[in-house]
A = this chain, B = another copy of it.
C-alpha cells in the first residue's frame, strides 16, 4: 500500500467531513433547539435506554466520555431541569438518570432539528445504496477497532430516532 493511495485520501476527507458536519450540527442544534450536540447525545442515549434510565457509568461509556466529564455534564443538565438523577435504593453508590418531562420535550424538539441537519450535512448527499455500503464499511471497521460494548450499544440502538453521537 503506497502512502498516497485512495484510502489515505478517503481518510483525510473523512476527517474534514466530520469536522465540518460536527460544527454545523452543533451550531444548528444550539440555534434552533437550545441543546448542544453533546447534550443531545446524552438525552437521546438516556431516553433510548432500557426503562429510559441509565446509571452514570453506563451513560459515560455509551457516549465515550470520561466518568468525571459525565458527572459534570449530567449536573448541568439536572441544573437545567432536563434530567433527574435519583439514587438507587438497592445500591446507594449508583445513581440513575432519567429525562424530566421538560427533557422529553426538549429531546423531541432537538430530535426534529437533528434529523433535518443530518440530512443537510450528510444523508441527503447519499443514495440509499451508498448508505448501505458506507454502513457496511463502517461496521466492519468498528468490528475491528471497537470494544464489545460499542458494537452492542450500536446494533441495539437502531430505532426510528436520529442517532447517537459519540463526540
Q: Is A13 an interface residue (CB 8 A)?
A: yes
Say whether A69 faces chain B, with CB atoms less than 8 Å apart. no
Give Cα A11–Cα B164 distance, bound, in whole angstroms. Answer: 9
A128 / chain B contacts, CB cutoff of 8 Å: 5-7
* Chain A window 151-167, contacts with chain B (Cβ cutoff 8 Å), 1 for yes, 0 for no: 00010011111111111
Query: What's the minimum C-beta distance from A49 to chain B, rounded to whole angstroms?
Result: 16
The number of chain A residues with a CB under 8 A from chain B is: 64
Identify 18 new A-B residue pairs, CB closer than 8 A, beyond the known A4-B160, A11-B163, A18-B167: A3-B160, A6-B128, A6-B131, A6-B135, A8-B163, A10-B138, A11-B118, A11-B122, A13-B154, A14-B122, A14-B138, A15-B18, A17-B138, A18-B18, A20-B64, A20-B150, A24-B145, A120-B145
Shortest Cβ distance from residue A86 to the other chain B in the assembled complex, whole angstroms: 29
Q: Known contacts A17-B142, A64-B19, A145-B121: does B12 contact A164 (CB below 8 Å)?
A: yes
